A and B are shown apart, each in its own frame.
Chain A
Amino acid sequence: MRKIFAEKLTELAEKNRHVVLLSGDIGNKMFDDFKEVAPNRFFNCGIAEANMIGVSAGLALNGFRPFVYTIAPFATVRCLEQIRVDLCYHNLPVVIVGTGSGLSYAELGPTHQMLEDISLLRSFPNMTIVCPCDPRETDLVISQSFNRNSPMYIRLGKKGEPVLHNNDFEIGKSITIREGYDICLITTGTMLKNVLDIAETLGKVGIKAHIEHFHTVKPIDKESLTKIFNNFKVVATIEEHSLIGGLGSIVSEVYVDGDFEKIKILRFGTDDKYLSKTGSKEYMLKAYGLDYDDIVKQVEGVFK
């Protein structure tokens, strides 16, 4: 995903003189082509994220379209107040691209894992949050970010993600990935790949799962959620993010605020804890409470 980001942005920088790229001392070589195309519009801001956000605000105030790139926790919570004041309060078109979100960098430990970003950033007025599921969506969200004039956070995985679908993509509109009628599995970002596996497994025991991918978690597609709440008796949210304040919370909020029949909502996400133990992404997902066998078992339980 990060490779596509660099390629797409280079392509856009060639066409648009206002594209500026700020990197927090990462992406060695990844941005060589960008630097070639727009040498005076690339800034290595060093390991100084608070300043990087402020600088992006200054560039945006003067008409540029800055993209700020670094590892998700440093792109977001490290400089949270600068995002709040400099970008969201001023409502500036700066795109923050956080790579290695969720447990993409599981082996690097909790300092580099990012399971609270959606929760924190979505409370800021004017902020749009998009979690693409694959390289193709990454490409499309970068292009479409130009249609908006407000801050955006793009939550990326890392590298080597497969393309998961070929459906139309529009910021703010959810995508039906798989049709089904017993349960609606709601997900976002790279977790979609795992949710496809879960739906497959559920199919084997006779549960036909629908999958709806909400790449845009803010603003959430309420129209799509309304349809889901009216058509399904069981809904499950599955996300690579804390259960506090993420997609599961967003879906629950829309449900509570609406006037819907009683349905069952299951929420799957990471537990409210930090783990010093480390391991592969699969291991860490389980350790944080996102165990697929358990998800399947719980869903089955609802239908027994």
Chain B
Amino acid sequence: MTIRRRIYLALGFLGALHASVLLASFFAPYDPEVQDRELPFAPPTRLHFVDERGRFHLRPFIYACASSSMPVAACVEDLTRAFPLRFFVRESSAVEKANLANQGAELGASESKRRHWRLFGVDQPARIFLLGSDGLGRDQFSRLLHGGQVSLLAGMLAAGLALGFGLVLGAVAGFYGGWVDELIMRSVELFLALPWLYLLFAVRAFLPLHLSAVQSFFLLIAVMGVVGWARPARLVRGVVLSARERDYVAAARGFGASDVYLLRRHVLPQAFGVVMTQAGILIPQFILAEVALSYLGLGVAEPVPSLGNLLAELQQYHVMASYWWMFLPGAALIPVFASYYALANALQERAGVVPT
């Protein structure tokens, strides 16, 4: 397969992944904060096509779990009533609130209860847990989608921030040289001398520990961006240095071009290729960092889901031993990384660097 085709394939796949995650509210049957205390650690709901009388239905249906069998991780299906899977469900907030109130379930503090479409759903009081539920009865599938949104977004924003800083500082260092260059390069070395996870820790450590979910999200992005600028800065500086010495830059200077013009027209476009390649490498790294930090409790805070958050439940022995579906958020990361790495490899090959 040619390089270009590989790039397009990887991009296409990534685009599909990101789109599905962006439209989390549509694909997810429930809001991520909605709890159902009567169904903690419910296993993934089984979809049936054939009812107990042997009749085949085109539309799959589920059975509710008989509540008396909770919280053991085996859902005894209540065969008295079948709940068909409905597509393009649109629930009004009032109805949903009333239904949930009847169940005795709790609503999360921040309910985004606008009337909006969902791809599928089932009537109350059954719940469709495609990937099971967690300790508080929250649908893992919905949380996966929303968590994926948070994690992927965090990765991209942080990478954008780091690349932005790196681009500006690297360009300034390379273009102006002198003590500015020395200062920036020494800082780069300093930042690179710390193992990055440890640096994240150190920086995270100096910030307040107990923050609201939204604050923690942006703080995390800021921290990752601030920590990750060093390597892109060094690469951009290299590009800028070589571009600066070109004769055509000297010629343009000979026509009286200002520094800004030279940067804009001649130097920075060269850096663009490097930045793109770096993006393919940094974004998965930052997604991973977010997952790691959230797993350790230093990233996105509850109740906002993130893939790291979701995995944190596995720190408890009984969860890991009995509830295998709690692993699935982690498994969702694998195709994301695989595509990003494929993309990064292809971009590197195109730029002439030998990827390993």
A and B interact physically: no
B residues with a Cβ closer than 8 A to A are none
